[in-house]
């Protein structure tokens, strides 16, 4: 058998020796490092405390504040120019009765000013009586019941037109007439016409006069239907 099996090699013996020395080496390095950091802490001397403590604040001296401006009492001082129109600044000691001549003016009552307008022209305003209200227009009513038909006071006969005589025209024209409160005919219009005779009939009816018609004691206009007859002789 070879001799290496019974006698270990020198290299393996050295390796085991290095492995056994590794923990000792680590511990030695640790002790050196600890001594490197701890020894200076014990060797350093603390500084001596100061003989006197410093003040925590620094005193600052501020300059005195400026004196406020002197304000004159407006109430105690009187205006140099006495203006009668200016408002008083002091309470009066007593109440003086007013006189008509002491009434303050508006400042525009100067020469040539009218009602406060410089250069105005004085005008005299006269009271004007308002005109009376217009009369109430009443609606014409028709006779019947309590309303009696008016009675004719003035009758005017129609004038036969010459052209109607020549044409031998005759007949009856029916006219609607509105009779006013005074009994006079105000309006007239033809309801039934007869050729050549209408205008003559209207001219005659407009000249008729009737008695005033009253309703509850008050005169009222009425509407009547009248007839005008034309007959040849």
Give the model's pLDDT for residue 127: 74
Torsion over CA: 110, 112, 117, 121 (sign): positive
Nearest to 86 by CA among 94, 97, 71, 74: 74
Rounded to two decimals, the pTM is 0.43
CA angle 4, 7, 13 (to 5 degrees): 110
Give the model's pLDDT for residue 106: 52
| Proportion of the chain in helix, strand, coil states, percent, rounded to 5 | 25, 20, 60
Give the model's pLDDT for residue 91: 73
Confirm or reject CATH 3.40.1170.60 for domain 152-230, answering yes or no.
no
pLDDT digits (tens, 9 = 90+) for 110-124: 555 555 566 556 666
pLDDT digits (tens, 9 = 90+) for 140-194: 899 888 888 899 999 999 999 999 999 999 999 999 999 999 999 999 999 999 9
- The residues spanned by each domain of the chain are 152-230
Give the model's pLDDT for residue 229: 94
């Amino acid at each position: 058998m070879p001799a290496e099996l019974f006698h270990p090699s020198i290299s393996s013996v050295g390796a085991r020796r290095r492995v056994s020395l590794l923990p000792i080496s680590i511990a030695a390095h640790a002790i050196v490092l600890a001594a490197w950091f701890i020894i200076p802490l014990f060797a350093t001397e603390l500084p001596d405390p100061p003989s006197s403590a410093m003040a925590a604040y620094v005193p600052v001296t501020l300059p005195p504040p400026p004196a406020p401006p002197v304000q004159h009492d407006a109430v105690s001082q009187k205006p140099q120019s006495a203006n009668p129109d200016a408002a008083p600044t002091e309470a009066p000691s007593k109440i003086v009765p007013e006189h008509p001549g002491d009434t303050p003016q508006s400042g525009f009552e100067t020469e040539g000013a009218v009602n406060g307008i410089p250069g105005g022209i004085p005008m005299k305003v006269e009271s004007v009586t308002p005109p009376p209200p217009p009369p109430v227009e009443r609606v014409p009513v028709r006779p019947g019941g309590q309303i009696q038909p008016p009675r004719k006071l003035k009758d005017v006969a129609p004038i036969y037109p010459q052209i109607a005589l020549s044409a031998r025209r005759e007949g009856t024209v029916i006219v609607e007439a509105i009779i006013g409160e005074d009994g006079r005919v105000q309006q007239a219009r033809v309801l039934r016409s007869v050729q050549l005779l209408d205008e003559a009939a209207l001219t005659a009816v407009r000249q008729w006069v009737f008695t005033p018609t009253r309703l509850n004691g008050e005169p009222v206009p009425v509407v009547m239907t009248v007839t005008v007859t034309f007959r040849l002789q």
